[in-house]
Amino acid sequence: MKKIVRLKALIILLFVLLLFACSQNENNKSDVGGYESAEAIERGDVVITSDGLSNFDRFEDFLDHISKKKEDYIRITSYTIEGDPIFQDLHYDGKVIQYKHDHTHDEYGEKRLIQMTVKRF
């Protein structure tokens, strides 16, 4: 049963990672500073690196809070091949999810901050 829950959570995580491509609201400012994966793990971010996934239990907690309509915030931090951070912030207020995809710290990528609201279904 736990494997099924983890699989569902992983599918949702992948869905969230793809959501940023659908956004219409783009800005060129960032309100966060970049930091390395060790610090991201220590801060409690769900971290995706070429070495694997860290703090996945935090993502599972976030999904549990959504199912209970309990407010929560989570940051998913991934890293480019060069080591630049890509931040994805999700804030759930009990009704909607505010999603922010920040790749302004990607030295070689297009520096954009994408935001959207996802209504709970």
Q: pLDDT for 48-99, tens place per residue?
A: 988 899 999 999 999 999 999 999 999 999 999 888 999 999 999 999 999 9
DSSP H/E element including 16: helix 2-19
Contacts 24+ apart (CB under 8 A), 79-84: 79/37, 79/48, 79/49, 79/50, 80/106, 80/108, 80/109, 81/50, 82/107, 82/108, 83/36, 84/34, 84/108, 84/109
Please give the full DSSP string across 24-60, using - where no structure is assigned: -EEES--SS----HHHHHHHT-EEEETTEEE-HHHHH
pLDDT digits (tens, 9 = 90+) for 88-119: 999 999 999 999 999 899 988 888 899 999 87
pLDDT tens-place string over residues 21-33:
333 333 333 344 6
Q: How far apart (Å, rounded) are the C-alpha atoms in residues 53 and 19? A: 19
Whole-prediction pTM value? 0.73
